[in-house]
Structure 1
Amino acid sequence: MIVLAHVSDLHLDGGPRSLDRAARVFAHLDGLPGELDAVLVTGDLADHGLAEEYEQVAKLFAGPRKPLHCPGNHDVRGPYREVLLGEQASDEPINQVHRVGGAVFALCDSSIPGRADGHLDDGTLAWLESVLDGAGDDPVFVCFHHPPVVLHIPYIDDIRQSGTDRLAALLGRYPNVVAVLCGHAHTGAASTFAGLPLLVVPGVVSTVNLPWESHETTDLDAPPSIAFHLLDDDRRLTTHYRVVPPGA
């Protein structure tokens, strides 16, 4: 069985509030008595994409569980590469593949520099195809920041991922893809995409209200939440959502 902890949208901005919330989440994960095969962070690690924000992120990620991560629309590729990946600054998409616990994690960059919405460019789709070709029969999680479907939250739907027919056609050719994982919505959601489970993790820094819940778009007081994805030996995927309470 593969056990994956999934968080998103830390938005570290140099201030104490965002750092405190993110630190609580990672302290909670580090303190779990059971094993995790991986921790995944699907974007918006920083709030302004500044080097000093990524230095905060690097310290946060220095614990015993080393997160896999991909950028979101608040991230900036140059400082992200330099501080978190130890690479030369570049504006090229940050696409990474990791093999962990018997599964392949394809971390795609859905960000568009200078914009809030998302898109997988042709180069990223070609890269993803090569990853899927090389995965053999191993289970694959396809991960990025922006949801590729409407979630019926107008604020989020206006800045979701576009051009997704190309992605759906690609994923449809690979039966070993088990799920699509993303963030961006700052609220937990479960849907489908290309016949696959689409699992959206809640936000760490804040929670976006559903339209019928409140006239306010964002709840800054709701506690951060995480998801645990479990892939069993029959490749059945189960997801549990958990709140990280104050003092955890």
Structure 2
Amino acid sequence: MVTNSGSWTGFLEKCHHLGYKESQEGVGTPERACALNHGNQKNHHGHGSGDLTQQLQPLRVVQLSDCHLFADTDGKLLGLNTQFSLDKVLELIRLEQPNPDLILATGDLSQDASFESYQRLDQALADFNTPVYWLEGNHDKPAPMLEALDTQRERMSPCVLEVGNWTIVMLDSTIPGEVPGELFDEDLKFLDQSLAHAKGDHLMVCLHHHPVPMECAWLDTQVVGSASQFFDVIDRHDRVRAIIWGHVHQEYDNERNGVRMLAVPSTCVQFKPKSEDFAVDDTNPGYRWLDLHPDGRIDTGVSRVEGITFEVDFTVKGY
């Protein structure tokens, strides 16, 4: 974990441009809690941050991650056209989830951090006519991402979403210019305060990097550096029901101290589970759906594109 004086500077690099301010205690505090019912945005179950008692049905959440788009729609990652694979995943989502309540895009949305790639993704997800919340991944860069998503700044991490009986905390686990993840001291304070002051009966935390080992040796060098401190915070709040992340390009579903731990496949290339060295898997791209029930139960699953063979270069040993 980063505990030196650079932690505050690092945290400010990640969140100051997103509308957060320094309090008198030196803690980054949110100026608002984001709600699902934004203006004319649809709200299927008639609830929002103002009235948490009326959630009668599960909230259907779609998580997609690690799109690795390029400015050029012909751009390829490890031989795979990432725009093509994303389009196929979105077709699947439209077929299976025509009316999601919420979409979570959990980082590494662009491979080249181009304005054009973020803009195309924003336009594609706008077709669902439902709120989208955005995490930054290690391949993303704040400036072009903010420029492309300018009207959605309040939906970019770090932020807090109150919806129905649930509070969702979006954390930025990136270190500018680095691949591994980290939650700085002020990130952890933000998390602790957000969980303590949450209006929802049930809480979910989202970040890009994995906070637990994946039994994938090369990937596990990139686990959030402050994972033990992160779980110290989580363990203080018994309303936390789930933690979800991206980055690992593979499915994961486990439990820790009663908290569901979930990772999602990439919308492009998949990484081979339990591999010692970098290795690409032959499973197809996909997404995760979650039903967040009013009583705190979670139903979830992963759905993958079928009937298509995606061209991937399995000989590449890194990217």
Return the TM-score normalized by structure 1.
0.87
Higher mean displacement: 71-80 or 58-67:
58-67
Cα distance, 1:85–1:227 mapped onto 2, change above 3 Å: same
1:141 CA drift (Å): 1.1
- Deviation digits for residues 2-54 of structure 1 (CA, Å, limit 9, x no counterpart): 22111211111133311121122223323446642212111101112122222
Structure having the larger proportion of residues in strand? 1
> Secondary structure in 2 aligned to 1:29?
helix
1:228 aligned partner, one-letter code: W
For 1:132 and 1:149, the matched residues in 2 are separated by: 20
CA RMSD of aligned residues (A): 2.4
Higher mean displacement: 176-185 or 159-168:
159-168
2:225 maps to 162
For 1:3 and 1:15, the matched residues in 2 are separated by: 30
1:218 partnered with 2:277: no
For 1:112 and 1:180, the matched residues in 2 are separated by: 20
1:125 aligned partner, one-letter code: L
2:73 maps to 15
1:234 maps to 295
Higher mean displacement: 14-23 or 118-127:
14-23
2:203 maps to 140
Check the 8 A contact 1:180/1:193 in 2, yes or no. no
- Deviation digits for residues 149-207 of structure 1 (CA, Å, limit 9, x no counterpart): 11111121111211112111111121111100001110001233454111011111111
Check the 8 A contact 1:168/1:194 in 2, yes or no. no
For 2:237 and 2:270, the matched residues in 1 are separated by: 34
For 2:167 and 2:220, the matched residues in 1 are separated by: 28
| Higher alpha-carbon Rg | 2
Higher mean displacement: 155-164 or 189-198:
189-198
> Secondary structure in 2 aligned to 1:114?
coil
1:187 maps to 250
Check the 8 A contact 1:9/1:45 in 2, yes or no. yes
Return the TM-score normalized by structure 2.
0.69
Runs (5+) with no aligned partner, structure 1 = none
> Secondary structure in 2 aligned to 1:208?
coil
1:177 aligned partner, one-letter code: V
> Secondary structure in 1 aligned to 2:167?
strand
For 1:233 and 1:23, the matched residues in 2 are separated by: 32
1:94 CA drift (Å): 3.8
1:215 CA drift (Å): 8.0
2:59 maps to 2
Check the 8 A contact 1:38/1:100 in 2, yes or no. no
